Structure 1
Amino acid sequence: MTGPIHTDEKRGSGSTHLKSDILYRLLVDTMNDALVVADADSVITYANQRFCEILGYTMGEVLGSNLRKFIDEDNWLTVEEETKRRRKGESSAYEIEWIHWTGERVPTIVSASPLMDDKGTFVGSFAVVTDITEIRKTATELRQSREMLRLVIDSIPESVFWKDQTLTYVGCNTNFAMLACVGKPEDIVGRRDSDLGWPDNQREQFTEADRSVMKCDEPTYRIAQTLLTPDDRELTVEISRVPLHDAKGNVIGILGTIHDITQRRAKEEEVRRSEQKYRALAEHSMQGISILTSRGFGYVNRAFAQIVDRSVDQLLSMTIDEAWSLVHPDDRPMMRERIDARVARRPLSPSYQYRLLRPDGEVRWVESFATPIEYGGEIAVQTVLVDITDRRQVEREVRAANERASLYLDLMSHDIRNQMQVILSSAALLREAEDDEMRASFYEIISSSVQRCSRMIEEVRSTERLAMAPLGERSLHRSLKLCVDALSSRSHSAVFQTNLQTDEALILADDFLELMLTNILMNAVEHNPKETKHVWVSLVEHGDSYVVTVSDDGPGIPDANKAGLFDQARRFGGLGLHQATQIVEKYGGTLEVYDRVPGDYRQGAEFRITIPRHHRPA
């Protein structure tokens, strides 16, 4: 409505007037906007249904009411100012908020025109009221969305820019504005790279790259290059460019991001130089060095590869399970516990010893020093290994030599001395004996003592070369069967029952294997006073070892004597058991004693020999 509406305009014929009135009311009642008419005192004289819906009142509650009923004080001041304009015959549009019957505010745009009589006197106002609640809501959401987008763009570490098809900047985030030295993001709108302070070659690179992306309609990602800024900084950056499209798929611009990787590259270079120094030291180290991750070896040096007799490439290609197969099965539980403790940074002794396996089954003893480190973004374990196989062998030989020396001294000072005493006493009595029968008796005692001394010396001398004898592949099954068969044929009072569950039972042993087995078998027979002696012999595979058990039904060994049975100083077990212990230890095994019937030593003893299994080369 652009002007005042006069109330005395002629309306034509009656039928025409009726039709027009019907059409008018139909239009008014079905229009989307509200229509309201108020007199000069702001009393509502007419309203359509849409006006009632906007305010939430019925038609009866609206008609005859003053407009002020539906407007608060602040908005009424606006209405009063606008009414003054109506009185002057002016039309206008303005925004006010109405009060819904629920108390909520309804924002609207009011397009008002004055009503004049035939004398030009103001008699009221005619207004179209448009509910802009949804428009306000949409505008608010749009503003909030833009604010959130701006916040997100300004919060990301990258510098972000976007241009139109002419390579004119349409916007950027704060980081790019700082990078381009333009102040605020809005200051870059409408400018081009030629308007900024980029060096010439930098500007040309930008323009060429932008055009190429838009022409090919293909994005480029993380292109590393050197960037010279307007404030003379030289940065290493990664630039990504993505073409922008309209609804029809046409290229209308470009979106770009610049990620400053200057510090990252500097750190990477520092790490690279540090790693080069570490590798140089590690590769020339005489000690084995490895880094074990959750997936396998992250690094091994040549010394480590030599210890396990594999190439560096073989080790680096191993899975974590294959890496664990290098460790002797008996040592794996302890190793896992220690590695878990290292990763959890629990206190542990700085070093420990365990065994590694070569492809041919050879065992190498190592002393390990492990430290948790970060490697490749995860927690790993760095290990420094010292091969102590030869040292342990030397220590074992020295210990064996000391034990033999002590044994010789013990034999000389105890066993042989006792026999010599018997010989001297018998010789003195022999001299004084008067009849031949007495002399023959003393002579027999002397001869028996001499033979016993000779036998003890021979038994000790038989193991003199034990430390020097080389180890080789031997069949424990075959040797055990030969020893049992030999004793069965000689000891008619002994009944041997065998249960050999393995076919070969390959181990690393020497020529003293049969002596060790015979000593244990003989011990079961000689110390059994029964007329018929029962001996049970078994051979089973247990993990990565073989176990031989020799049980008897003799008098058994009390618990108090078990602890000192293999003690050389006490020698409760005799010379044979001492020799057997030495031999088993050389093979890397153990010799232990138990009750044949657990908890009742009187039912006989059980000797248990455990020897590591030998793995043939693949």
Structure 2
Amino acid sequence: MFHQLMYVPQGECALWPTNLMSLPLIADTLMGIAYYAIACSLIYFLQKRKDIPFTSIFLLFVAFIVVGGTNHFIDVWTLWHPDYWLSGTVKVITAGIVVSTALQLIPVIPQVLDLPSPAHLEQINQQLQQLQQEISERKQAEQQLQQLNQFLGLNLRERTAALVKQEIQLHAFLDNATDLIQSVSPEGKILFVNQAWKTTLGYNDADVDQMSVSRIIHPDEIACFQSVIQQLLTTPGDVIAVETKFIAKDGREILVEGNINCQLENGQPVALRWILNDVTQYKKATEELQNSKLFLELILNTIPLYIFWKDQESVYQGCNERWATMAGLASSEQVVGMTDQQLPWTDDEREWYLRCDRKVLTTGQSLLNIQGQQTQADGQQKWRQANKVPIRDATGQIVGLLGIIADITKRQHTGGQLQQYTSQLEVANQELEAFTYSVSHDLRAPLRAINGFSQALLEDYGDTLDETGKDYCNRIRKNASRMGLLIDNLLTLSRVARAAMHYVTINLSDLVQELASELQTSAPHRSVEWIIAPDALVYADANLMRIVLNNLLQNAWKFTSYHPTARIEFGVLQQDEDPIYFIQDDGAGFDLAYIQMLFRVFQRLHTIHEFPGTGIGLATVERAIHRHGGKVWAEGAVEQGATFYFTIPKYLHSVAT
């Protein structure tokens, strides 16, 4: 290439002295390597710093340095090889690059000159550092501001949620309140009401919306209401107690009472707050209680007794007007708080009253029928009969005593007369005993004689008597026997009225069973169904109860005798008061029009030919029951049977014991 054989290497031109050849060889080699190293460094620098301006200039310098290094390597090469065309070509390329660099550098020089000096760069660097610090601080401030905004936003949301929760709780609290709560604007528009308000007055939310408070105020209360509102608006700090009437949706009048005050904002009233109670039932109950109290006072003052009551310390707590007058007091209220020491009793009477009080209050037992004299305010001595009973509260604790006193002065004055009447009654009873003895002995002797001689007449002279004579003798005997039975019944009636009472527990069921067996034995051919209630216990006189049941069962047996079959029942009707015992049959019965004659002596509702008897049995039953303090009555209808009822008071046991 390039006709190398035509030329001689540079080394030969220098005749190849060793010292001389080593100098360009080393120098060109080192410079070539250095040029290439610089070019590589610049390329590396440009790769790392792509933000460096004038990149094209740097690349031209890289090319310039590379061809410069190449020229040095070519100079080393031409020491042995005469490639001068190659060397010249490289130099031309180098010249082109250098010229291009120079041309490119000319317009860049002004720009390079405008680049800041190191001092200026230092100043700018300081400014940049200061700006960077400011930016950092600003970023930090912005970050803190962002955190603060986040905190404030979170706190605001939490606060808002807390306020909403508080408002919900407040509304729930107000709605759960039993008071009637309303908020009203100064112009009278209702702003808020709670659930109790709506429930009491019967309005709903739609009714309350745009409602004026004057709509619910009773017309009679409007003037008073306006006066209260004016007073509140004039002196907003006041709390005014009110009592007024509302009109409910259904027209009912609701009595309310409570307080009204002003809600202020910036010192100006914005609402009137009402807190009220529905006192309709309370007022009604109070009125009824007052009426009851007045009625009770009327009853106490009408009762013809002296009534008082004391507390546990024997201090008077009240009395009726009759007792107050007896004690010399102007009214019953005056006795409240007084003791017996302040009343016109004698010392002995005061001591006696206190002893009785202590006994009642400590033992809880009543003192009944205490009789004695008492001094009145006018100094008169009156006979009294007192009863003192303990007063107990709902738990059973004794809280005082009640005293009821009756004036028995007249009774005491008539005691002598009563004793006289008692003596006369004893004489009459003795005479009655003598009469009874006479009847039972003196009247029976002639009857026995009549009966005996008529019987002897029939036996001894029966053959000489015709049928009429025999019939007369039989009638004499039959009437004598009936007269004897009548005497026996009268004596029984007399004994029932006079016999002493001996109370024992009697099983009436067993007694009825015994008497029924006797009746059935007396006529075994009769078909009678007996129904007897079991265990009918009563506390009474055994002899009298036997007489009662015997007469009633004899009647039932007798008046069912014409029926082929009969039914007789003994039973008990239980009730809150005294039990009712009865004996019922399905026999001949009786006409209710004649029921007033049923228990009278010698009164009969059937002829003796229909049903034998004396007409004394039911009178004896009535007298025996009355002696026990009971009642007896009957029901029946003709040919539909009869039922006889009687009662024996349950309190007889306690009275007898």
Q: Which structure shows the bigger proportion of residues in helix conformation?
A: 2
With structure 1 as the length reference, what TM-score do the two structures score? 0.48
Q: Which structure shows the bigger proportion of residues in strand conformation?
A: 1
